[in-house]
Amino acid sequence: MSISLKLPTEYWSNFTVLQRDIDFLQNYLFETETPLTTQELTAVLVEECIRIERETQRKEQLASGDFYLPKEKYRVGQRLIFPSLAMKKGEVKAVRPGNNPEIGAFDVIQVEFEDGSTRLFAAGLAEHKLNHPVEETFEPETDPQSILSVYGEEIAHKLDIALEADDSLVRIAGAWFPKALLLDINTGHLNLAEAVLEMNGGEPMTTTALMEQIELPRASNPKLTEFSMNYALQEDGRFDEVGPTGEVLWCLRRLEPEEVQNVPPVLRYVPVDYDRSLLNRQMLALEAQLDDELSETDQKPPKADEVTVTLTYPHWRAGTLPLSLRARPFFPTAIESPRIRFTLVDGKTGEKIPAWVVREYGYVSGLRKWYEKQKLIPGAYLVIRRSKTPGEVIVEAKTHRPNRDWVRTVLTGSDGGLVFALLKHEVACEYNERMAVVVPSVEAVDAAFQQKSRLPLEKLVREIMQKLAGLTPQGHVHAEELYSAVNILRRVPPAPLLATLAASKEFVHVGDLHYRLAEMELEEEE
């Protein structure tokens, strides 16, 4: 015989983390003395919730009667449950001796079911096929693995919020542990850790490597010692946890590269108020295409094993890559670490490049020397690929033998601003023709940046469009060209720029995101 235990409909989709759940997980961590991640705690909690529900259902079933087994004796008034009859319930109305010399003494009970029907059953029979213990079977909604595969991410998110609100728990590198159980790591230990990291030349080190050179109090559980060390390092402002997901690496914050500690000037964005409703479908499509890390677009890109991005001037100048919506899934972005150290691998040569994810500001740092080595220009195409090695990301420049091409060139004018000219240059990479520029003097452009970056956006856009318009007979400038050029002098994402074009009467849309200055139309009419 078997009975089936089920959970209420939509139990997991409507799951709420209760205080009893947090109390249970706290006790679990106390007993095991092992730090666990939110995902691991989610699996533990799911099994506990299933156990509670199973126990509750058992009690409810037993409260409504005993399971009928032919070998047992029953009395008048006793309530019974019949697993072999789809869990029908009834009450014993009469008991009399059975009459069958071949099977020995037994009773016959008369049972009245809840629907009013009555049936006779044997009782006190030692041998009967229904005498086997009742077996419990469980529906898919009570199988932990099935639950975690469907609802695990949602439950983990809710649990994460609840654990964050509990002051008695601390999280290090994604793992949770009761603060009360942590070992004492004193200032002397931390000073030694600082000296060890400094001797390592600023290179990050694992907690284990640090502990090997520091005499720490030992616990019966090595993981507890390591976790305690991690917590002490985290609470000390000298140290920075910079490991990708699943790996804990420590670095001295003061030894991190300058562009990791502080956002490079060319990447700093001073927010601009604008009306997003002014953006039409073409503009929104361009915004998604431009891979700007500051874009507010919520268009989810399709999953891919590689993505091609265009290197804009600000990132070329800073030696960085944008963590745009399409590029972000390829890079380590641990929630707990604002700065993450990882390795970029040249897809052609296999060269390994130490790099950093600066998660808060949406860029990857560490590529300046590689850009120079590859002889890239702003507007060059870069391919980003997944690596099979954890902590590594593949990057490849679409380079080729140098060709002499006509490319937009940035020069500085007498007024300190920029002048654009089409000049021939030797170029050794594939590039986006609308966004490509050659910069003969970075220092001159830096000086222009200092002078022009504080101009009101509309005035700067007008000035840049006027300079670009002279490169074509029609005087038309595409929004993509304008975005690329404006970002040489001021960091601005696509949306505010496009909204400025749509809102101002200074700019006339002539079709397919091409614009011209209104004053040029007036001059032609005259």
Q: Per-domain residue ranges for the chain? A: 2-62+138-172, 71-127, 182-256, 282-400, 407-525
The pLDDT assigned to 300 comes to: 76
The pLDDT assigned to 204 comes to: 94
Nearest to 136 by CA among 328, 317, 316, 4: 4
Write out pLDDT tens, residues 381-438. Answer: 999 999 999 889 999 999 999 999 999 999 987 776 789 999 999 999 999 999 999 9
Q: Please give the model's pTM, rounded to 2 decimal places.
A: 0.76
Which is more confidently placed, 50 or 460? 460
> Given pLDDT bands bounded at 50, 70 and 90, which one contains residue 257?
very high
> Given pLDDT bands bounded at 50, 70 and 90, which one contains residue 181?
confident
Separation CA 448–CA 323 (nearest Å) = 27
The pLDDT assigned to 133 comes to: 61
Write out pLDDT tens, residues 354-383. Answer: 999 999 999 999 999 999 999 999 999 999
* Residue 427 near residue 460 (C-beta atoms within 8 A): no
Range list of β-strands (E), 269-415:
306-310, 320-322, 339-346, 352-358, 363-365, 381-386, 392-397, 399-412
What is the pLDDT averaged over residues 276-287?
94
Is the pLDDT assigned to residue 299 strictly greater than 80? no
Candidates 2.60.40, 3.30.1890, 1.10.3120, 2.30.30; correct CATH number of 71-127?
Answer: 2.30.30
The pLDDT assigned to 162 comes to: 94
Write out pLDDT tens, residues 34-78. Answer: 889 999 999 999 999 888 887 777 776 666 677 888 888 999 999
* Residue 375 near residue 391 (C-beta atoms within 8 A): no
The percent of residues above 70 in pLDDT, for the chain, comes to 92
Query: Domain 282-400: what homologous superfamily?
Result: DNA-binding pseudobarrel domain (2.40.330.10)
What's the angle, vertex CA 178, arms to CA 174 and CA 179, rounded to 5?
100
* Residue 312 near residue 294 (C-beta atoms within 8 A): no
- Give the gyration radius of the chain's Cα atoms: 35
Is the pLDDT assigned to residue 525 strictly greater than 50? no
Which is more confidently placed, 212 or 483? 483
What's the CATH code, domain 182-256?
A: 1.10.10.10
Residue-averaged pLDDT of the chain: 88
Write out pLDDT tens, residues 87-141. Answer: 788 999 999 988 887 777 889 899 999 888 999 998 888 777 777 765 555 554 5
Is the pLDDT assigned to residue 520 strictly greater than 70? no
> Given pLDDT bands bounded at 50, 70 and 90, which one contains residue 278?
very high
